[in-house]
C-alpha cells in the first residue's frame, strides 16, 4: 500500500514515515519544517521512499498529515488522517489530537520539551500524567490504518492519567504504554545527548 506523508521532515512525520517503511508500505514524503530536513536523509536510500520536492498533483489512497497541509500540493486521496492539525482539512478527514506526544528529534532541552511552542517540563504533572511516547502512538496509528474508525475527530490520552479512570470518554483512545514513561524518557534524553547538534535549536539552548 502507498501512503503520502505530509510534513515528513517534522519529527512526528519522520517517525510515521520510518515506521510505515519498516512495515513494508511505500511512502511518498513532502517536506515541512526546514530545520529538520536532515531527517529525510535517513530515507533516501530506501527504494520504497520517494521525496516530492516540486509542486505536484498527487492521487493516492491514503494521506497522513502532521499539522497543516502545505499549500503547494494538490492531492487527491480516499482518506486523510490529520494529526494535531488546528482544523480538519475536510469533512472526510480523521483528525487525531494527541497533545503530549514526545520522542526522539522533538524540540527539547535536557529538562523540557516544546509542544506547539510551549515549554513543558519533563518533571511537570501534566507531562508525567499525559506524556505519550511516539512509538506507543504508532502502534495505535497502524491499527487505525487497518480499520479506520467511524467519525471525524478523536483524542489520544494516556491511560496512566488517574483522573480519567472510570470516566466515559467519547471519541477518545486511552493508550497503554509498553514501557514506563520514565524509561522511555531516559532513552529520549540519551538520544538528545548523543545527537544534540542535529536537534532543533530552542531558546533554552541559546
In this predicted model, what pLDDT tens digit does every residue of 71-116 receive, in sequence order? 666 778 888 999 998 876 566 789 999 989 999 999 999 999 999 8
Residues of the chain with pLDDT under 70: 33-35, 54-56, 71-73, 88-91, 150-151, 165-167, 203-206
pLDDT, position 206: 46
pLDDT, position 14: 96
DSSP code at position 34 = G
Q: Please, what is the Cα angle at 31 between 135 and 16, to 5 degrees?
A: 15
- Nearest CA to 66 out of 123, 1, 19, 5 is that of 5
Amino acid at each position: 500500500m502507498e501512503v503520502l506523508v505530509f510534513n515528513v521532515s517534522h519529527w512526528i512525520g519522520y517517525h510515521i514515515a520510518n515506521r510505515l517503511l519498516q512495515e513494508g508500505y511505500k511512502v511518498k514524503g513532502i517536506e515541512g519544517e526546514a530545520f529538520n530536513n536532515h531527517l529525510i536523509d535517513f530515507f533516501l536510500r530506501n527504494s520504497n521512499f520517494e521525496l516530492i520536492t516540486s509542486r505536484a498533483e498527487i492521487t493516492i489512497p491514503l494521506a497522513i498529515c502532521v499539522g497543516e497541509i502545505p499549500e503547494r500540493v494538490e492531492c487527491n486521496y480516499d482518506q486523510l488522517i490529520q494529526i494535531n492539525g488546528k482544523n480538519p482539512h475536510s469533512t472526510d478527514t480523521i483528525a487525531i489530537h494527541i497533545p503530549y506526544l514526545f520522542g526522539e528529534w522533538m524540540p527539547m532541552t535536557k529538562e523540557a520539551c516544546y509542544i506547539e511552542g510551549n515549554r513543558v517540563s519533563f518533571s511537570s504533572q501534566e507531562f508525567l500524567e499525559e506524556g505519550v511516547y511516539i512509538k506507543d502512538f504508532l502502534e495505535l496509528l497502524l491499527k487505525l490504518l487497518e480499520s479506520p474508525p467511524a467519525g471525524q475527530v478523536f483524542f489520544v490520552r494516556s491511560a496512566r492519567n488517574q483522573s480519567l479512570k472510570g470516566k466515559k470518554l467519547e471519541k477518545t483512545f486511552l493508550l497503554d504504554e509498553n514501557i514506563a514513561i520514565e524509561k522511555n524518557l531516559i532513552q529520549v534524553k540519551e538520544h538528545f545527548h548523543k545527537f544534540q547538534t542535529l536537534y532543533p535549536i530552542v531558546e533554552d539552548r541559546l
